[in-house]
């Protein structure tokens, strides 16, 4: 199994090396991180194409083997946090005497991570899927 770790610009959609995001044999299974600059993505190579043109190419790393791909996923795509049940979360906040306005100014994802870290219910951690 082979993959490419690619730097890209979310505003223009331009990928390093001129990689075409619509190439049906370069599949990205949700591995995108737009919280870093430049943004990153991993694309699985689903054919036997020659990748030598990407060796030493700025903004592209060739990943060879499942273990290397999974390590790159873990290194570059941190978990995301999502509020799944606001009612349960609010009730747990009340129970713990944590005022909802303690999160004023935070984005929903920042609030979700903080609540998850506090062990509050109604919030889940979503880890990037690894290859099998």
**Per-residue pLDDT tens for 16-57?**
999 999 999 999 999 999 999 999 999 999 999 999 999 999
Tell me how far CA of residue 122 lies from CA of 39, 82, 83, 84, 110, in angstroms.
29, 9, 6, 5, 14
Whole-number Å distance between alpha carbons of 131 and 128: 10
Report pLDDT for 64: 97
Write down the pTM of the prediction. 0.82
The helix/strand/coil state of 97 is: coil
User: Residue 38: is the preceding peptide bond cis (ω within 30°)?
Assistant: yes
> What pLDDT band is residue 92 in, cutting at 50, 70 and 90?
very high
Report pLDDT for 95: 95
Would you say 61 and 72 are in contact if contact means Cβ atoms under 8 Å apart? Answer: yes
Residue 104 has pLDDT above 90, yes or no: no
């Amino acid at each position: 199994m082979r993959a490419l770790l690619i730097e890209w610009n979310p505003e223009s959609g331009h990928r390093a090396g001129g990689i075409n995001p619509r190439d049906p044999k370069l599949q990205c299974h949700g591995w995108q991180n737009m919280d870093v600059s430049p943004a990153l993505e991993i694309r699985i190579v689903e054919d036997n194409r020659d990748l030598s043109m990407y060796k030493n190419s700025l903004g592209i790393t060739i990943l060879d083997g499942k273990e290397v791909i999974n390590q790159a996923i873990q290194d570059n795509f941190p978990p995301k946090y999502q509020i799944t049940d606001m009612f349960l979360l609010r009730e747990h906040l009340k129970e713990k005497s944590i005022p909802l306005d303690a999160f004023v100014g935070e984005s929903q994802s920042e609030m979700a991570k903080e609540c998850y870290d506090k062990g509050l219910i109604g919030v889940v951690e979503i880890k990037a899927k690894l290859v099998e």
